[in-house]
Amino acid sequence: MPQRYFIDDHAFEHKLITGNDAHHIIKVMRMKPNDQMIVCNNNICHMVHITKTDQYVEFEIDEKLPTKEIFDVTLIQGLPKGSKIDTVTKYATIFGVSKIIFVEMNRSISKEKNVDNKLKRLETIAKEAAELAHRSNVPSIEFIKTLKEIDLKDFKWILVADENEKTTHLTDVVSKAHIKEKTALIIGPEGGITDQERNFFKDQKSHFISLGNNILPTEIASLYALSYFSIKNAE
């Protein structure tokens, strides 16, 4: 499978790749004129061939590729500590998430700081993960200070992963017919959600779900639900 790159509108319009992607194409992949690759822009991917490699990479379009059917899940992740935000970003992207919102919750050990630097790093991680997973788009990433700042009314389904929930599972709430509907998936930070947060989500008419018999680390808990959406989406 040809290498995949996500490019902005300017690069696509001028059929010219610069910066880190150009360095990767020329120095790492050692691609040359007539080699094929895939470029994606605005959720549409094209097979292209390289026409020139110098400091920059020039290309011409060969064909538009079929668009993959995607589901619409926004992960609202309680801010985890340390490098766990990198893990969340990488693997949630690979498993098909549409958007990631990191938010401080009551049991978040980390606090929102150096957001601009974090966001730049996470956007790079998401881009590389999307290329690895052969996605046609890259999820957007956002940091929000409190849950109350998130407009949950925008979602058809609000799914709250709760270790206190023992009987209701994801499959009891979301059927294949619901896969394409706009969904919010809430994962608490280390230690899970508090009773205060449970009451907040109840007021939002959320569905509380179990993610199985085992307690999952916060940085991978979303993958349980995202894999279900991915499988159902492919059926």
Rounded to the nearest 5 degrees, what angle is found at the Cα of 124, between the Cα atoms of 54 and 7? 50
Place of tokens 């499959």: 171
Domain covering 73-234: architecture? 3-Layer(aba) Sandwich (3.40)
Delimit the CATH 3.40.1280.10 region(s) of the chain.
73-234
Give the pLDDT score at 180: 85
Structure tokens at 7: 């490019």
Tell me which of 130 and 178 has the higher pLDDT.
130
Helix (H) or strand (E) holding 12: helix 9-14
Q: Does 155 score more than 80 pLDDT?
A: yes
Average pLDDT for residues 19-43, to the nearest whole number? 96
Average pLDDT for residues 9-25, to the nearest whole number? 96
Structure tokens at 41: 């822009």
**Which tens digit of pLDDT belongs to each residue from 46-90?**
999 999 999 999 999 999 999 887 899 999 999 999 899 999 999
Instruction: Name which of 191, 193, 227, 165 is nearest 76 in CA terms.
Output: 193
Which DSSP string corresponds to 124-183?
Answer: HHHHHHHHHTT-SS--EEEEES-GGGS-GGG-SEEEEE-TT--S-BHHHH--GGGTTS-E
Q: Which sign, positive or negative, has the C-alpha torsion 7, 100, 84, 217?
A: negative
Delimit the CATH 2.40.240.20 region(s) of the chain.
4-64
Instruction: Tell me how far apart the alpha carbons of residues 115 and 163 are, in angstroms, rounded to a whole number.
Output: 29
In this prediction the pTM is: 0.91
Neighbours of 125 (CB within 10 A): 18
Give the pLDDT score at 67: 86
Q: Which band of pLDDT confidence, cut at 50, 70 and 90, is reported for residue 145?
A: very high
Give the pLDDT score at 115: 84
**Which tens digit of pLDDT belongs to each residue from 78-127?**
999 989 999 999 999 999 999 999 999 999 987 777 788 899 999 999 99
Which CATH code, of 2.40.240.20, 3.30.465.10, 3.55.40.20, 1.20.1250.20, is assigned to 4-64? 2.40.240.20
